[in-house]
Structure 1
Amino acid sequence: MSQLTLDRPGTDVTPSQPTGLTATVTHAVGLLQRLLDRYSVGFLQVSLGLVFLGFGALKFFPGLSPAEDIAAATIDRLTFGLVGGHTAVLLTAVLETFIGLTLVTGKLVRVGLVVLAGAFVGILSPLVLFTDELFPHGPSLLGQYVLKDIVLVAAALVVAAGALGSRLRSDASSGPDA
């Protein structure tokens, strides 16, 4: 919180320390900011990894993944029919599991993020390739499943920025409310 002080010649005006509720809120916000600075990107990395690990592992077992058919159709179309069916789903399972393991363990994170960047082409392709099936009269359940991948892209961008050395800024004056 910034304090407004008036500069009057001949007077000593010193801002008083916040007291009561203001001091408590200021302290709580500072504590929350330090916790977020320290843990939020790591938590996001592990969470994203668990999502990929979970959805990837499902694809190893035929019939368990709700995205099995769309994954097979997407890879089939992207490879011009060279890779399709069970092979496409297995390839997707391996890639997603690898990505998940790198993010959860923190080992080979940069390699995992490069694989993830490539995988996002396939992950988001159904939005273009199968628009009519995903959104027949509004978003179908499968359409919503694919659409949520935009959030995964945003999370991956934050994790990638952190892995490449970017840091959260604590400068409140540069935020959207400034």
Structure 2
Amino acid sequence: MTTIPVRHGAVGVVSGPRTSPIRRLVQFEANAEAAIKIFLQRWSIPVLRIALGGVFVVFGAFKFVPGMSPLETLVQSTWERLTFGMITGPTAMVLTAILEVVAGGLLIAGGVFARAGLVVLAVAYVGILSPIVLMPSEVFGAAGPTLTGQYIFKNAVLIAAALVVASRVLKGPDTKR
């Protein structure tokens, strides 16, 4: 049915062909998909930013407690090599913990803090990925990546997530495809 205006402001109803149940179902699906897309465009990147920050806060916090992180030896060796022996042992763990917790906390906070968090995260990734170059025997075994190497390489997903978050929080022009 269609509502049409008639003379003197009165409203009339005209009967028309009824839409089929299949056509209504297809339209309902299209409307639902559009609503979901709008919701995801609004919320998916903020949720990703908070989740990424949460991962760094939790894994960074583990490093404050001696023996809690399975990569304690690797973290200490990495710092020792990156700083030419100036930072070693527990100091390396505390610095890593601070770096990761700060990066995560800034990402969770959002806004201008998220931009700063991305910078801190970029610095953290230098250390996180450096064992690939500095200690290849720890990262690669005869049959491929070691368990340590797999732990490091899974960061590719976190780096991709950081890039997506950066696309939203960094200032600059928005481009549409």
TM-score, length-scaled by structure 2: 0.79
Paired residue for 2:83? 79
Q: Is it true that 1:112 corresponds to 2:131 in the alignment? A: no
Paired residue for 1:23? 27
- Higher gyration radius (CA): 2
Paired residue for 2:163? 157
Write the letter of the residue equivalent to 1:34.
I
**For the structure 1 residues 24 and 168, does the alpha-carbon distance in structure 2 shift closer, same or farther, using more than 3 Å as the test?**
farther
Runs of 4+ displaced beyond 6 Å: 166-169
Q: Which of 24, 42, 47 does residue 43 from structure 1 map onto?
A: 47
Paired residue for 1:146? 152
Count of matched residue pairs: 155
Paired residue for 2:138? 133
TM-score, length-scaled by structure 1: 0.79
Q: Which of 82, 86, 93 does residue 89 from structure 1 map onto?
A: 93
**Conserved 8 A contact 1:74-1:129:** yes
Q: Is it true that 1:69 corresponds to 2:77 in the alignment? A: no
Alpha-carbon separation, structure 1, partners of 2:59 and 2:133? 21
Alpha-carbon separation, structure 2, partners of 1:68 and 1:35? 41
The offset of 1:102, in angstroms, is 0.9
Q: Percent identity?
A: 46
Write the letter of the residue equivalent to 1:104.
I
**For the structure 1 residues 64 and 167, does the alpha-carbon distance in structure 2 shift closer, same or farther, using more than 3 Å as the test?**
farther
The offset of 1:168, in angstroms, is 8.1
Alpha-carbon separation, structure 2, partners of 1:123 and 1:162? 24
**For the structure 1 residues 38 and 167, does the alpha-carbon distance in structure 2 shift closer, same or farther, using more than 3 Å as the test?**
farther
Task: Specify every segment of 5 or more residues in structure 1 that has no aligned partner in the other structure, as ranges.
Answer: 1-15
TM-superposition CA deviations, 1:30-67 (whole Å, max 9, x none): 12211111001100000000000000000000000112
Write the letter of the residue equivalent to 2:136.
T
**Conserved 8 A contact 2:107-2:115:** no
Task: Specify every segment of 5 or more residues in structure 2 that has no aligned partner in the other structure, as ranges.
Answer: 1-18
| Greater Cα offset, 154-163 or 42-51 | 154-163
SS at match of 1:81: coil
Alpha-carbon separation, structure 2, partners of 1:105 and 1:43? 12
**For the structure 1 residues 168 and 158, does the alpha-carbon distance in structure 2 shift closer, same or farther, using more than 3 Å as the test?**
farther
